[in-house]
Amino acid sequence: MATRHIVALGGGGFSDEGLPTRLDDFILSLARNRRPRICFLPTASGDSETYPIKFYRAFAPRECQPSDLALFRRTVADLRAFLLEQDVIYVGGGNTANMLAIWRVHGVDAILREAWEAGVVLAGISAGAICWFEAAVTDSFGVPPTGLRDGLGLLSGSACPHYNSEDERRPVYHELVLGGFPGGYAADDGAGLHFVDRELAEVVSEVEGRSAYEVKLEGGAVRERPIKPRSLS
């Protein structure tokens, strides 16, 4: 079986300014080919027309072959063939619940699992980070955030993005876990969780002071453990 990689970014990457970032370089470095084919899925943004522009602005200058896949205005007939020929699939932020529903209608959820098992690197920001888990903290249904329990389940447990930049994320996550929600990981903007074959291999960060955290229930209380990141700066 191929080595399976997932990189879940709490926020940041090219999404902020459409500029190359070290987190994006790290994601590309995991690809199996020297000039990897990387496909961007903007589904969570409702296939925003501007989001792919940022993606191409950031990745066109790199040694890679960028493409994007729209599902609201779908032009690709054979989604399975298209996605399985990629080396990296990069999922953007937005509404996680809506994205998962659209993926399931088009069969993309099953294709992504097959791609991951075949060694395609899966990565994403915010919605594109938490979708890989069994459960997640999401603002898909408005503010404050709430728990979502029907993620793709490639990774066990739960995830929470934007841990440093959105004040309501931490208390909501803790309250959910205390009430029986599966524990998991939270990530700051500018930090990424790198999983290899379902296990957390490391946390990487491109911003000083940004990291990730393990959040779980222990002895009837929620425990939050900071995870020291490897700096990409």
What the block records as the tokens of 161 is 């993005």
207, pLDDT greater than 90: yes
Known catalytic membership, residue 106: no
Residue 196: band (very low, low, confident or very high) from pLDDT cuts 50, 70, 90: very high
Q: Does domain 5-231 have CATH number 3.40.50.880?
A: yes
Give me the residue spans of the domains in the chain. 5-231
Q: What angle do CA 164, 166, 169 make, to 5 degrees?
A: 90
233, pLDDT greater than 90: no
Q: Which residues of 62-72 are buried (b: 16+ CB within 10 A; e: fewer)?
A: eebbbbbbbbe
How far is it, in rounded angstroms, from Cα 24 to Cα 28? 6
Known catalytic membership, residue 158: no
What the block records as the tokens of 193 is 């969780």
Q: How high is the mean pLDDT of the chain?
A: 97
Residue 18: band (very low, low, confident or very high) from pLDDT cuts 50, 70, 90: confident
Q: What is the pLDDT of residue 108?
A: 98
Query: Percent of the chain beyond pLDDT 70?
Result: 100
Q: What is the pLDDT of residue 115?
A: 98
Give the pLDDT confidence of 64-97 residue by residue, as tens digits.
999 999 999 999 999 999 999 999 999 999 999 9
Options 5, 15, 45, 126, the catalytic residue: 126
Give the pLDDT confidence of 111-147 residue by residue, as tens digits.
999 999 999 999 999 999 999 999 999 999 999 999 9
Options 162, 174, 205, 211, the catalytic residue: 162
Residue 144, number of CB atoms within 10 A of its CB: 14
- Which residues, listed in sequence order, are joined to residue 196 by a DSSP beta bridge? 5, 199
Enter the pTM of the model. 0.97
Mean pLDDT, rounded, for 35-57: 97
1, pLDDT greater than 90: no
Q: What angle do CA 209, 186, 14 make, to 5 degrees?
A: 65
Q: What is the pLDDT of residue 19?
A: 86
Nearest to 66, CA basis, from 29, 32, 41: 41
225, pLDDT greater than 90: yes
**DSSP 3-state of 217:** strand
Q: Which residue has the tokens 């529903």?
A: 101
Q: What is the pLDDT of residue 3?
A: 97
Residue 20: band (very low, low, confident or very high) from pLDDT cuts 50, 70, 90: confident
Mean pLDDT, rounded, for 27-32: 97
Q: Are 205 and 163 in contact (CB under 8 A)?
A: no
Query: Percent of the chain beyond pLDDT 90?
Result: 97
199, pLDDT greater than 90: yes
Q: What angle do CA 171, 173, 179 make, to 5 degrees?
A: 100
Check whether the bond before 66 is cis (ω within 30° of 0).
Answer: no
Residue 226, number of CB atoms within 10 A of its CB: 11
